[in-house]
Amino acid sequence: MLKYVTGSALAAMMLLTAGNAQAFCGFYVAQADAKLFNKASKVVVAYQNKGLNDHDTAITMASDYQGDPREFAVVVPVPTFIERKQIGVVEIATIDHLDAYTAPRLVEYRDGDPCYKPPDRGYPITAMSAPAMAKAGMAMPDRYRGVTVEARYDVAEYDVSILSAKESDGLSNWLTDNGYKLPDGAPAVLGSYIKQGMRFFIAKVNLDRMKDMGHGFLRPLQVRYHSLKFMIPIRLGTLNANGPQDLIAYILSPRGRVEATNYQTVALPTGSNVPLYVKQDFGAFYKAMFERAVARKDMKAVFLEYGWDMAWCDPCAADPLKNSELVELGARWIESDDAAVFKGRGPGSVYVTRLHARYDAQHFPEDLMLQETPNRENFQGRYVLNHPWQGQADCEAGDRYYDSLPDRFSREAETLADLTGWDKAAIGARMEETGQSFTSKRPSGLGTFFKRLIE
Amino acid sequence: MIRQRLSRLFGDARHIQLSILGLLLAVNLVEVDFGADPASAAVAVGAGIATQILCSRLVGLPRAELRSAVIAALSLSLLLRGDALWVHALAAVIAIGAKFLVRVRGKHIFNPSALGIAVLIFATDHAWVSPGQWGTNLWFALLLSLLGFCVLHASRRTDIVLFYLFCHCGLLLARALWLGDPLAITLNQLQNGSLLLFAFFMISDPRTIPDARRGRFLFAALVALVAHWLAFHWHFRPALYAALVGLSPLIPLLDRLFPADRFEWTTPAGRRDLQPC
B-chain residues within 8 Å CB-CB of A229?
Answer: 235
B-chain residues within 8 Å CB-CB of A262?
Answer: 131-132, 188-189, 192
Return the pLDDT at A307: 95
Tens digits of residue pLDDT in A423-445: 999 999 999 998 888 888 777 77
**A114 in any annotated domain:** no
List, as one string, the DSSP characters of B74-142: HHHHHHEEESSHHHHHHHHHHHHHHHHHSEETTEE-S-HHHHHHHHHHHH-SSEEE-TTTT---HHHHH
**A111 in any annotated domain:** no
Q: Is the dihedral of CA A427, A429, A430, A435 positive or negative?
A: positive
Give the pLDDT band of residue B140 (cuts 50, 70, 90).
Answer: low
Cβ separation B130–A259 shorter than 8 A: yes
Which of B81, B128, B175 to mutate to probe the A interface, most A CBs <10 Å? Answer: B128
**Closest of B132, B135, B66, B141 to residue B99, by C-alpha:** B66
* Domain boundary pick from A382, A398, A428: A382
Please, what's the b/e burial string for A226-235 (b: 16 or more CB within 10 A of its CB; e: otherwise)? eebbbbbbbb
Residue A44, beta-bridge partner list: A60, A250
Contacts of A126 (CB under 8 A, 6+ apart): A107, A108
Which amino acid, residue B232?
Answer: F
- Domain check: are A265 and A341 in the same one? yes
Residue B138, min C-alpha distance to chain A (Å): 11
Domain span including residue A160: 5-105+127-382
How many whole angstroms separate alpha carbon B248 and alpha carbon B113? 13
Give the pLDDT band of residue B154 (cuts 50, 70, 90).
Answer: low
Asked if the model's pLDDT at residue B149 lies above 70, the reply is no
Give the pLDDT band of residue B105 (cuts 50, 70, 90).
Answer: confident
Asked if the model's pLDDT at residue B178 lies above 80, the reply is yes
Which of A198, A296, A355, A371 to mutate to probe the B interface, most B CBs <10 Å? Answer: A371
Return the pLDDT at A33: 22
- A229 in contact with chain B, both atoms CB, cutoff 8 A: yes
B-chain residues within 8 Å CB-CB of A376?
Answer: 83
**A37 in any annotated domain:** yes
Return the pLDDT at A117: 58
Asked if the model's pLDDT at residue A240 lies above 50, the reply is yes
Residue A350, min C-alpha distance to chain B (Å): 16
Please, what's the b/e burial string for B141-159 (b: 16 or more CB within 10 A of its CB; e: otherwise)? bebbeebbebbbebbebbe
* DSSP helix/strand/coil, A411: helix
Asked if the model's pLDDT at residue B64 lies above 80, the reply is no
Asked if the model's pLDDT at residue B265 lies above 90, the reply is no
How many whole angstroms separate alpha carbon A315 and alpha carbon A318? 9
- Domain check: are A376 and A411 in the same one? no
How many whole angstroms separate alpha carbon B208 and alpha carbon B212? 12
**A265 in any annotated domain:** yes
**Residue A315, preceding bond cis, omega within 30 degrees?**
yes
* Nearest C-alpha in A relative to B233: A228
List, as one string, the DSSP characters of A271-335: S-B--GGGGGGHHHHHHHHHHHHHHHTTT-EEEEEEEEETT--SS-SSPPPBHHHHHHTT-TTSS
Give whole-number Cα distances, B212 to B13, B160, B164, B256, B258, in Å: 19, 10, 15, 10, 6
Tens digits of residue pLDDT in A314-354: 878 888 999 999 999 999 999 899 999 999 888 899 999 99
Give the pLDDT band of residue B156 (cuts 50, 70, 90).
Answer: low
Return the pLDDT at A118: 54
Strands (E), chain B: 80-82, 103-104, 107-108, 127-129
* DSSP helix/strand/coil, B157: coil
- Residue ranges of chain B whose CB lies within 8 Å of a chain A CB: 33-34, 81, 83, 125-128, 130-137, 178-182, 184-185, 187-189, 192, 234-235, 237
Contact (Cβ atoms closer than 8 angstroms) between residue A274 and residue A383: yes
- Domain check: are A190 and A267 in the same one? yes
Return the pLDDT at B48: 93
Return the pLDDT at B153: 65
Cβ separation A263–B132 shorter than 8 A: yes
Asked if the model's pLDDT at residue B13 lies above 90, the reply is no
- A196 in contact with chain B, both atoms CB, cutoff 8 A: yes
Asked if the model's pLDDT at residue A32 lies above 50, the reply is no
- What element of type H or E holds A162? strand A158-164
Tens digits of residue pLDDT in A273-306: 999 999 888 888 898 999 999 999 989 899 999 9
Residue A74, min C-alpha distance to chain B (Å): 23
How many whole angstroms separate alpha carbon A73 and alpha carbon A18? 10
Geometric angle at alpha carbon B121, from B117 and B126, rounded to 5°: 115
Return the pLDDT at B74: 92
Residue B137, min C-alpha distance to chain A (Å): 8
Cβ separation A265–B133 shorter than 8 A: yes
Asked if the model's pLDDT at residue A154 lies above 80, the reply is yes
Return the pLDDT at A54: 85
Return the pLDDT at A64: 60
* Nearest C-alpha in B relative to A261: B132
A-chain residues within 8 Å CB-CB of B192?
Answer: 262
- Domain check: are A305 and A427 in the same one? no
Mean per-residue pLDDT for A48-71?
81
Q: What are phi and psi of A222, to 5 degrees?
A: -125, 135
Number of A/B CB contacts below 8 angstroms equals 84
Residue A380, min C-alpha distance to chain B (Å): 14
User: Which stretch of A206-210, A393-397, B145-149 has the lowest confidence by average pLDDT?
Assistant: B145-149
Which amino acid, residue A333?
Answer: W
Mean per-residue pLDDT for A145-163?
89
- What element of type H or E holds A87? strand A87-89
Contact (Cβ atoms closer than 8 angstroms) between residue A271 and residue A289: no
DSSP single-letter state for residue B272: G
A-chain residues within 8 Å CB-CB of B34?
Answer: 259, 265, 267, 304, 375
Residue A11, min C-alpha distance to chain B (Å): 15
Greatest mean pLDDT among A34-48, A211-225, A320-334, B61-75 lies in: A320-334
- Domain check: are A281 and A409 in the same one? no
Contacts of A317 (CB under 8 A, 6+ apart): A100, A101, A102, A103, A105, A127, A128, A129
- A298 in contact with chain B, both atoms CB, cutoff 8 A: yes
A-chain residues within 8 Å CB-CB of B33?
Answer: 264-267, 304
A261: nearest CB among B131, B179, B184: B131
B-chain residues within 8 Å CB-CB of A259?
Answer: 34, 130, 132-133
Cβ separation B179–A192 shorter than 8 A: yes
Contact (Cβ atoms closer than 8 angstroms) between residue A28 and residue A20: no
* Domain boundary pick from A382, A401, A424: A382
Return the pLDDT at B66: 86
Tens digits of residue pLDDT in A171-229: 888 888 887 767 788 889 999 999 999 999 888 888 888 888 776 677 889 999 999 99
Count structural domains, chain A.
2
- What element of type H or E holds B11? helix B2-11
Cβ separation A229–B235 shorter than 8 A: yes
Cβ separation B235–A230 shorter than 8 A: yes
- Domain check: are A224 and A270 in the same one? yes
B182: left (phi over 0), alpha (psi -120 to 50) or beta: beta
How many whole angstroms separate alpha carbon B168 and alpha carbon B174? 10
Contact (Cβ atoms closer than 8 angstroms) between residue B137 and residue B31: no
- A50 in contact with chain B, both atoms CB, cutoff 8 A: no
How many whole angstroms separate alpha carbon A248 and alpha carbon A24? 10
**A117 in any annotated domain:** no
Return the pLDDT at A76: 83
More confident residue, A26 or A115: A115
A-chain residues within 8 Å CB-CB of B136?
Answer: 263-264, 300
- A93 in contact with chain B, both atoms CB, cutoff 8 A: no
Residue B80, min C-alpha distance to chain A (Å): 12
Q: What are phi and psi of A206, to 5 degrees?
A: -95, 105
How many whole angstroms separate alpha carbon A262 and alpha carbon A253? 20
Return the pLDDT at A309: 94
- A236 in contact with chain B, both atoms CB, cutoff 8 A: no
- A273 in contact with chain B, both atoms CB, cutoff 8 A: no
Return the pLDDT at A5: 36
* Domain boundary pick from A360, A382, A404: A382
A-chain residues within 8 Å CB-CB of B228?
Answer: none
B72: number of CA atoms within 13 Å, CB side?
Answer: 36
Please, what's the b/e burial string for A27-64 (b: 16 or more CB within 10 A of its CB; e: otherwise)? bbbbbeebebebbbbbbbbbbbbeeeeebbbbbbbbbb
Mean per-residue pLDDT for B155-164?
78
- Domain check: are A134 and A158 in the same one? yes
Return the pLDDT at A131: 43
More confident residue, B158 or B194: B194
Return the pLDDT at B6: 57
**A113 in any annotated domain:** no
- Domain check: are A415 and A375 in the same one? no
Give the pLDDT band of residue A28 (cuts 50, 70, 90).
Answer: very low
Average pLDDT, chain B: 82
